[in-house]
Amino acid sequence: MLEITNLSKTFKIKSREIKAVKPYDLTINKGEVVAFIGPNGAGKTTSIKMLCGLVTPTTGNICLCDMTISKRSKYLSQLGAVLEGARNIYWRLNPFENMEVFCRMRGLAPKVYLDRIDHYIKLLDLEKYKTIECRYLSRGNQQKVAIACILALNAEVLLLDEPTLGLDIEMSHRMMEIISGEKSKDRIIIVTTHDMEFIEQTVDRVVAFKDGNVFFKSTPTEIISKFGNGDNRLSTAYLKAIKEETL
């Protein structure tokens, strides 16, 4: 179980304070997929960065199975993260080498990680690219390599910032199946995404941010039921919900 308590982040720029994330609480259970959604600049990625230790919270605590983020090495050993806009892989290494480097940095033995690498290379359709340096791959294939790297770690918590970014339609649908499969292994999965189809097909709960506030935590079905007005599209219901800022 991942417990987030009173988590917030305020950035100080000269004499100005920007409250990027205002205090909120959230509990996520094993085997649950949660989506952080909201407009650009709402606080989603800052929250993800606090969860993976890249940004220090102003207030609050993060606890994973009795390990707090203050016990940094133990806590981070249970996480895998892909961040949008970041170089998540080594460009001069090929997909296989990237996956092996990340597994070795995590302290895994070859007899543990080699089968995993082979499994995820096949699952993400990277076999014909596995010996090509990643700098020569398309944006979508680089994204697949980054995701394959963290899946091979077998971490308890996966933090995926825009996991379908750069993927074609076929691979986006495959990614839904892959994440559903990882969920069945009792992993905690947190995604940020604007892809409403992805949310409807994959996500158990939605946490909606706006102007740094978490203003509702609900299931996709509940959002559609309350705000859809007969329209079964999550996108329609969400746009109405975000205007009312309540659920």
3-state secondary structure 69-133: CCCHHHHHCCEEEECCCCCCCCCCCCHHHHHHHHHHHCCCCHHHHHHHHHHHHHHCCCHHHCCCC
In the prediction, which pLDDT does 14 show?
83
In the prediction, which pLDDT does 120 show?
95
pLDDT in tens, the chain (247 residues): 899 999 999 999 888 899 999 999 999 999 999 999 988 889 998 999 999 889 999 999 998 877 777 777 788 888 999 987 667 899 999 999 999 999 999 999 999 999 999 999 999 999 999 999 999 999 999 999 999 999 999 889 999 988 888 888 999 999 999 998 988 888 999 999 888 889 998 999 999 998 999 988 899 999 888 887 778 888 888 888 877 655 4
> What sections of 106-233 are H helices per DSSP?
110-123, 139-152, 169-183, 196-202, 220-227
In the prediction, which pLDDT does 245 show?
57
Task: Tell me the CATH number for domain 1-78+165-247.
Answer: 3.40.50.300
Whole-model pTM?
0.89
Whole-angstrom CA distances from 59 to 42, 83, 135 are 18, 23, 39
In the prediction, which pLDDT does 29 show?
93
Residue 183 CA, distance from chain mean position: 13
Q: Can you tell me the distance from the alpha carbon of 11 to that of 68, in angstroms, rounded to the nearest whole number?
A: 23
In the prediction, which pLDDT does 86 show?
66
In the prediction, which pLDDT does 247 show?
46
What is the crossing angle of helices 139-152 and 110-123, to 10°? 140
Q: Can you tell me the distance from the alpha carbon of 157 to that of 75, in angstroms, rounded to the nearest whole number?
A: 10
Domain residue ranges of the chain, discontinuous segments joined by +: 1-78+165-247, 87-155
Q: Can you tell me the distance from the alpha carbon of 86 to that of 93, in angstroms, rounded to the nearest whole number?
A: 16
